[in-house]
Structures are given as structure tokens and as C-alpha cells.
């Protein structure tokens, strides 16, 4: 066993699930690649590692650490890191190392009192020496702060953020309540703040620690889609996180309430806890929905003669468009005319698109301005193709301008209550994908008097973000809703549609392969599934559905395991985009990216700039933001510039620095969750067992309905049958329906 001591210069890769990390360790003048399980390791930390050197077949010599502990950096290391951080203009890492090597611990005294001596260092003239001295003097306070923060293992980048946020007040924050860092500084979460607090000597039962732990637990809950948590569950999870008893934790709920960090409500006889932001997001949505929810006839209601007139106009429109609506579709169009808010739901093949098109033509004839939107680029594109009218993503419709300087804040939009959308009618598709934050931003931009028509399939999986907006709107019973049920003849000829409806009803599906668009192959061996899947993608399906291999999508319930996303992508990459001397590659963590690879953005990034370039290389459009689930293709890998260029839908090109590649992953196979709002010519579903919580009816329904022309299931018929019977879904804690009812009752009393 060997021991290395140095500081972490760069985290190359981290698996957040198991803590596996690849990092660069600066040990003296040597740079060493280290691997190991380091859940809490961060850039800038001084560490001591014990382990041994190994030779990796692909990545070469590495130090495999068995143990790792953080240590206080020695003064010389701190000085060198500060000088090389970019804080002093004109000094990079190499020059910083030469200065410190020359003057050691006396470096800052030399710079301040004898700056002319800096010219003794190769690469520094007398003029540069004076400039460096002036800068050091000017930034004395920042330097002192950064050196202070480095003692607690805080990287230069975060140290600068902390100094900018608190100034000289940072010393008080660090000594009294370092947990404020987790609330105020992007890049510092609870676990890092907790580690810093431990180094400072703050007790594990500190009030500050407990309060921060409770807020962090609520944040973890939001990551699972919850807007609030029952107090019992919250206390139990916080207790586990902090290693403290319930009795130690529960008194802090009252303190957090007084600090206006949380809201406690009663629901079904139990107490529930919101973080303040989520509670007000729901409350604001409820208030705005109330204001938009007006009927055409206001208090008097729509008269019978008016309704007859609307119906006659609708029937006339049917003749003009050479189509015939069924009774529910006609009712839907009527309700959209009569009400400020209307919700249209229904499964595949039930005529949602026909109904939307009729609404559009009606409002157009009435001389009204209409806007169409959907949560994702793919969903917006589908909507445009189905209606013949331009549809935009909600982010683009609201004119995203990014979060600005405060990275902790959510994205801001140009369109809001002060600058609302200029339209008479707004139709939003795929509402099941809209979370509470995006819904709040959308409602803020809709002026009272505008018709809001929301369309979606309530049986789809809920949004990736917190909340279940569409379900809550329907469950509130406060808005007109039409759920289309009839499967139309043409759609009824599709077994994709028929089977989707059978799955929804809990009925078993036919898997006898007598279908033209729905196939099942009993395969109980993983290796055979791999082989069949590759044959389908590369040879059989492209011809069958008249599409290219890249458009055929593998959907799987899981991320891990032999049929999980990570394994499937490595296998599929070898066949769909094999190594080629003409294609450049770059390895980031355990993912090899290659030019031509199909990739997906896995987190919302409101600050990334994109541009659309003409065939002559001239930018014709640009904007901000790329979002979780967006898919594209790697166009170029540039080793010199250290970046990767990815082209997304509509020709949007984004340049990713190598250090930001943790936002990308291969997308030959994706989880069913990530496929929401998308449609593919053909879908392949490998289904061979998995956790019962995951393998449910809702997931299977969503996966099947992503296919336009063909579904192929490879796996076990027992697994498919079990999924259809399994109604169990992970319950989401969301209170929008309650907030709507509260507001409606209050406003009714006020009237």
C-alpha cells in the first residue's frame, strides 16, 4: 500500500449513486489520476489517499484508492492554489508554481514589500512584477478570505463565490452557521456544508445542522416528484440522514416555520410539510387559475340560444373541413368556446388532434389570435405537424432569458404578469409533462380573458419535475374536463392503440404476432435479447417502418442492470456507431463519446447558448436553454478547443466544454420516463423482470404509446402480464387540487 498527499485539481467523473469517482490529484509537481469510492470528495480539497497503482487497459496508469481522508492544506499549497486560481491577472498555474518554488512561505511578503524581486522568477519582468504587486494589494481581503476557506477544503471557484456572496461577513457565517452556504451558494449542497461544519467543530446536534438537514430532505423529496412530504415521513428520513433521534429533530419544525422556510398544513388528518417556495408555487397557480376560469356568460352563464348558435357553427365547420366529430369531441369544442379554462384528455387514437384542429379553425374564423405550445421540442414538433400551425416549446414561448447572475434562482422569462403573451387562445399539449414550476411561469404570462386549453393523457407517467399538474387539475373538479374514450376506426386498426387501451383497463394483450404493428418475442436470455435487438435496429425495422436506424428507439424501465440504459448504450454504440479512424472520440468518466453518437441532455441548463447555422455556416437564429430529455447528435469533437458540438432538433447547435459533459449521456437506449412527449417510428422494449415498484401498468402504457408505427417487445410474457396487473405506482405528494379548492371557496365567500 502507498500513501499520496495532495489536492484535488479536477473531478473527471462521479457516479452519484455509488460514489465512484475519477479525479486528478496534484501531488507535488506530479499529476496523478485517482479512482475510488469518494462520495463527498470535491475539487480543491487537500487529501491523503492510501491505495496502489494499477494499469488500466484504456486509460493507462491510475492510483486505485482504498481509503481517502481530507487534510488541512499546508501553507505553501494554499498560496500556490490562490496564485494559480486566476484571481491575479497574468499568473497561471505554471507561473504560480515557479513563484512559490522560489519564495516558499515568504511569497506574499515578497510580493507586498519587495515586488521587484519577482523579476528573479523566469517569465516575470519588472513591469509585470509591479502589476502583480498592485493586484495582490488590491485583492488583499479576497486573498485572505480564499486562504481561510481553503483550510476547510473549499475550492478556489467556490471560495470566490462565497466571498462575492458574503464579503467580510463570510467569517461570521463560517463560524456560526456554515449551513447557510447550502442555501445561498450554487455548487454547495447540504453534504458539503455538513462536512465543512464538521471541520469547524460544529456539533452534530446543532440547531443549524438539523434545520438544514430537514430542508435538504425536502429537496430530495422534490427530486422524486413530491411538492410536500408528510411530517412523519420527513422526520423519519431527516433522522436517518442526520443520525439523530426524532425527538432531536421535531422541535426544529417550529423554528423553520418562524424563519419562513417551511409551511405546515393539515391533510386527511395528518400534518404535511412544504418548503416555502413550493407552497407558494401551488398557491399562486391556484389564484391565477381562479382568475382565468371565467365563463363566456360570466355570472349569468351561457344561454341556451348562445349554445345552439355555437353548436351550429361547429357543425358548419365540420362540413367545411369534411369530417364528423363524435358527441364528446363536439362537447369538447363547445366547452373550449364557453370557458376561460378547458381540459381535454384521452388516450391514443381517441381523436385529440382532430378536436384540437377543430378548435383552432373555430377560433381562427372568429378572428382570434392563437398560440400553440408543448413542454419539449419533440412534442412541439409533433404538434406543429399534426395541426399545420407553428407550435413552440413553453420555454421559448415565454422567452427564456436564463437565471442571470444568481445561479440559485430558477430560469426567468421575458413573458410574465408585466409582459403577458399577446394572444386570445393558448393551447398547450402534453400537459402531463408540465411540473409545478413551469406551470406557475406559464400562468404568470397569461392575461385574464385569454382562453387556456390544456391537452394531455392523464394516464401517462407524471412530470420529471415536482408535481402532477394535469392530474391535480382534473381531480380538483373545478374546471370543465372532457375525456375522449372512443377509438376511431383508423386508429382501431392499430394494435398499438388497441393494446394501449387494454393495458390501461388492466386487460391482458394479444401477443400472438398476428399484428402488423405490435410484436412480442419470448426471450428469456439477455444475450439473445442483445442479439435480436441489434438485428431489429440495424436490419429489419428500418426497412419495415421506412426510417433510419438512429430514429428507432430502445426504451427500458431501468438505468442499471443488464437491460438498463448504461449497459444497453455501450452495446448499441458498438453496432450503430462503431469506431472509425475518421471519427474523433473523447472519454468522460465511464462514457466514450464519438462523433455521430446519439446523445441526450439529462438536466435543465438555462444558460447554455444555442444557434442555428445555415448551410453556408452563417448563424440565422440563436437562443438560450437546453432541457432534460432533449436529444441530439454529436457533430464535432475538438480536442484543441476542448469541446463537443451537439446538434438538436430544428438545427440548434450547442457547444459543450469537456468539463460540462456530465450533462450528456448516450441515447441509443433511454428510460421510458425520459421518452415522455416524444414519438418514434419504432420502439423496442426489453422487458425481463425488475423492481415491482417500477414495473407497473403506467410505465408499460407510456412506453407503448411512444411508438408511431411499430412496437416490439423482447422478453418474458410473465413480466408483461405482471406489469399489466400491477397498478401500484409511487405515490406523489402534491397539493395543487387542495389549493385550488381553498382559493375557490375563499373567493366565493368574498363575492
pLDDT at 409: 53
Cell of 127: 513591469
**Three-class secondary structure of residue 86 per DSSP:** coil
pLDDT tens digits for 384-419? 999 999 999 999 899 987 654 444 455 689 999 999
pLDDT at 156: 67
Least confident of 64-78, 90-104, 709-723: 64-78
> Distance (Å, rounded) from C-alpha 622 to C-alpha 624?
7
pLDDT tens digits for 564-612? 999 999 999 999 999 998 999 998 888 999 999 999 998 878 778 899 9
Least confident of 78-82, 108-112, 434-438, 707-711: 78-82
Per-residue pLDDT, averaged over 189-201, amounts to 80
Q: What percent of the chain has pLDDT over 70?
A: 93
pLDDT tens digits for 554-567? 999 998 889 999 99
pLDDT at 185: 78
pLDDT tens digits for 215-273? 989 988 998 899 999 999 999 999 998 999 999 999 999 999 999 999 999 998 999 99
Residues 6+ apart with CB under 8 A from 337: 296, 310, 362
Q: How far is CA 725 from CA 485, 509, 700, 713, in A?
A: 21, 11, 11, 17
In this prediction, residue 674 has a pLDDT band, given cuts at 50, 70 and 90, of confident
**Which strand (E) or helix (H) includes residue 656?**
strand 652-657
In this prediction, residue 158 has a pLDDT band, given cuts at 50, 70 and 90, of confident
pLDDT at 404: 47
Phi then psi dihedrals of residue 357, to 5 deg: -60, -40
> Are 62 and 54 contacting, i.e. CB atoms less than 8 angstroms apart?
yes
pLDDT at 613: 86
582-601 burial code (b ≥16 CB/10 A, e <16): eebebebbebebbbbbbbbb
> Distance (Å, rounded) from C-alpha 286 to C-alpha 717?
44
Largest Cα–Cα separation, the chain: 96
**Three-class secondary structure of residue 174 per DSSP:** helix
> Are 214 and 256 contacting, i.e. CB atoms less than 8 angstroms apart?
yes
pLDDT tens digits for 514-529? 888 999 999 999 999 9
pLDDT at 414: 92
DSSP string, 613-626: E-TTS-EEEEEEEE
Per-residue pLDDT, averaged over 345-356, amounts to 92
Q: How far apart are the first and last CA of the chain?
A: 78
User: Which of the two residues, 685 and 19, has the higher pLDDT score?
Assistant: 685
> Are 475 and 450 contacting, i.e. CB atoms less than 8 angstroms apart?
no
User: Which of the two residues, 534 and 201, has the higher pLDDT score?
Assistant: 534
Check whether 102 has a pLDDT greater than 50: yes
**Three-class secondary structure of residue 557 per DSSP:** coil
The rounded mean pLDDT for the chain is 86
pLDDT at 300: 52
Length of the chain, in residues? 751
pLDDT at 405: 45
> Are 132 and 108 contacting, i.e. CB atoms less than 8 angstroms apart?
no
Per-residue pLDDT, averaged over 201-208, amounts to 86
Check whether 298 has a pLDDT greater than 60: no
- Predicted TM-score of the model (pTM): 0.76
**Cα Rg of the chain (Å, integer):** 29
Q: How far is CA 179 from CA 190, 191, 197, 206, 214, in A?
A: 7, 9, 7, 10, 12
Least confident of 136-150, 300-314, 415-429, 531-545: 136-150
- Inter-axis angle of helices 207-223 and 190-200, nearest 10: 160
As beta bridge partners, residue 585 has 594
Residues 6+ apart with CB under 8 A from 241: 213, 216, 217
Check whether 510 has a pLDDT greater than 70: yes
pLDDT tens digits for 299-320? 556 677 778 888 888 988 888 8
Q: Where are the alpha helices (DSSP H) in 388-540?
A: 394-397, 436-444, 469-475, 489-492, 495-504, 526-535
Check whether 644 has a pLDDT greater than 90: yes
pLDDT at 556: 95
Amino acid at each position: 500500500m502507498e500513501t499520496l498527499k495532495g489536492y484535488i485539481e479536477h473531478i473527471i467523473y462521479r457516479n452519484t449513486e455509488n460514489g465512484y469517482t475519477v479525479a486528478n490529484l496534484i501531488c507535488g509537481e506530479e499529476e496523478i489520476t485517482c479512482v475510488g469510492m469518494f462520495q463527498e470528495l470535491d475539487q480543491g480539497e487537500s487529501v491523503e489517499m492510501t491505495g496502489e497503482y494499477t494499469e488500466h487497459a484504456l486509460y493507462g496508469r491510475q492510483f486505485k484508492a482504498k481509503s481517502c481522508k481530507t487534510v488541512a492544506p499546508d501553507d505553501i499549497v494554499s498560496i500556490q492554489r490562490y496564485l494559480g486560481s486566476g484571481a491575479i491577472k497574468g499568473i497561471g498555474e505554471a507561473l504560480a508554481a515557479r513563484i512559490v518554488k522560489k519564495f516558499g512561505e515568504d511569497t506574499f511578503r515578497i510580493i507586498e514589500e519587495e515586488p521587484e524581486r519577482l523579476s528573479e522568477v523566469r517569465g516575470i519582468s519588472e513591469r509585470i512584477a509591479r502589476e502583480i504587486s498592485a493586484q495582490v494589494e488590491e485583492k488583499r481581503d479576497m486573498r485572505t478570505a480564499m486562504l481561510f476557506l481553503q483550510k476547510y477544503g473549499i475550492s478556489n471557484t467556490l471560495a470566490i463565490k462565497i466571498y462575492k456572496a458574503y464579503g467580510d461577513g463570510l467569517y461570521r457565517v463560517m463560524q456560526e452557521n456554515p449551513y447557510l452556504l447550502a442555501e445561498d451558494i450554487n455548487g454547495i449542497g447540504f453534504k458539503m456544508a455538513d462536512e465543512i461544519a464538521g471541520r469547524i467543530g460544529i456539533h452534530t446536534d446543532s440547531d443549524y445542522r438539523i434545520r438544514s438537514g430537514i430542508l435538504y430532505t425536502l429537496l430530495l423529496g422534490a427530486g422524486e416528484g413530491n411538492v410536500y412530504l408528510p411530517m412523519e415521513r420527513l422526520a423519519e428520513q431527516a433522522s436517518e440522514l442526520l443520525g439523530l433521534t426524532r425527538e432531536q429533530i421535531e422541535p426544529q419544525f417550529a423554528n423553520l416555520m418562524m424563519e419562513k422556510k417551511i409551511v405546515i398544513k393539515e391533510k386527511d388528518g395528518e400534518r404535511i410539510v412544504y418548503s416555502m417556495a413550493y407552497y407558494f408555487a401551488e398557491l399562486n397557480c391556484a389564484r391565477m387559475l381562479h382568475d382565468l376560469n371565467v365563463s363566456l356568460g360570466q355570472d349569468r352563464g351561457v344561454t341556451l340560444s348562445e349554445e345552439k348558435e355555437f353548436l351550429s357553427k361547429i357543425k358548419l365547420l365540420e362540413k367545411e373541413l369534411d369530417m364528423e366529430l363524435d358527441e364528446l369531441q363536439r362537447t369538447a369544442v363547445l366547452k373550449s368556446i364557453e370557458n376561460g379554462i378547458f381540459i381535454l384528455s384521452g388516450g391514443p387514437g381517441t381523436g385529440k388532434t382532430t378536436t384540437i384542429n377543430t378548435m383552432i379553425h373555430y377560433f381562427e374564423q372568429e378572428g382570434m389570435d392563437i398560440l400553440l405550445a408543448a413542454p419539449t421540442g419533440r412534442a412541439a414538433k409533433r404538434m406543429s405537424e399534426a395541426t399545420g400551425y407553428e407550435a413552440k416549446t413553453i420555454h421559448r414561448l415565454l422567452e427564456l432569458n436564463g437565471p442571470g447572475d444568481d445561479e440559485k434562482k430558477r430560469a426567468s422569462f421575458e413573458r410574465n404578469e408585466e409582459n403577458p403573451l399577446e394572444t386570445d387562445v393558448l393551447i398547450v399539449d402534453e400537459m402531463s409533462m408540465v411540473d409545478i414550476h413551469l406551470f406557475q411561469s406559464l400562468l404568470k404570462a397569461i392575461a385574464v380573458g385569454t382562453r387556456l386549453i390544456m391537452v394531455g393523457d392523464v394516464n401517462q407517467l407524471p412530470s420529471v419535475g415536482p408535481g402532477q399538474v394535469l392530474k391535480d387539475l382534473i381531480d380538483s373538479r373545478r374546471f370543465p374536463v372532457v375525456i375522449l374514450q372512443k377509438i376511431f376506426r383508423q386508429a382501431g386498426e392499430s394494435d398499438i392503440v388497441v393494446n394501449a387501451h387494454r393495458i390501461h383497463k388492466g386487460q391482458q394483450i394479444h401477443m400472438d404476432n398476428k399484428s402488423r404493428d405490435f410484436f412480442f418475442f419470448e426471450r428469456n436470455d439477455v444475450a439473445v435479447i442483445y442479439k435480436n435487438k441489434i438485428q431489429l435496429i440495424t436490419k429489419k425495422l428500418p426497412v419495415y417502418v421506412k426510417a433510419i436506424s438512429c430514429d428507432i428507439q430502445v426504451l427500458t424501465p431501468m438505468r442499471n442492470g443488464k437491460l438498463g440504459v448504461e449497459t444497453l448504450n455501450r452495446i448499441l454504440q458498438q453496432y450503430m456507431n462503431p469506431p472509425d479512424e475518421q471519427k474523433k472520440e473523447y472519454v468522460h468518466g465511464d462514457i466514450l463519446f464519438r462523433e455521430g453518437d446519439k446523445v441526450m441532455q439529462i438536466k435543465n441548463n438555462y444558460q447554455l447558448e444555442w444557434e442555428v447555422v445555415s448551410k453556408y455556416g452563417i448563424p440565422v437564429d440563436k437562443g438560450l436553454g437546453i432541457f432534460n430529455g432533449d436529444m441530439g447528435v454529436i457533430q464535432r469533437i475538438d480536442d484543441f478547443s476542448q469541446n463537443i458540438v451537439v446538434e438538436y432538433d430544428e438545427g440548434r447547435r450547442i457547444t459543450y466544454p469537456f468539463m460540462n459533459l456530465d450533462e450528456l449521456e448516450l441515447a441509443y437506449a433511454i428510460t421510458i420516463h425520459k421518452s415522455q412527449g416524444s414519438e418514434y417510428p419504432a420502439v423496442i422494449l426489453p422487458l425481463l423482470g425488475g423492481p415491482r415498484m417500477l414495473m407497473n401498468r403506467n410505465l408499460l402504457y407510456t412506453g407503448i404509446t411512444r411508438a408511431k408505427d411499430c412496437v416490439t417487445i423482447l422478453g418474458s410474457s410473465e413480466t408483461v402480464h405482471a406489469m399489466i396487473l400491477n397498478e401500484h405506482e409511487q405515490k406523489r405528494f402534491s397539493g395543487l387540487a387542495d389549493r385550488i379548492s381553498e382559493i375557490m371557496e375563499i373567493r366565493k365567500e368574498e363575492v
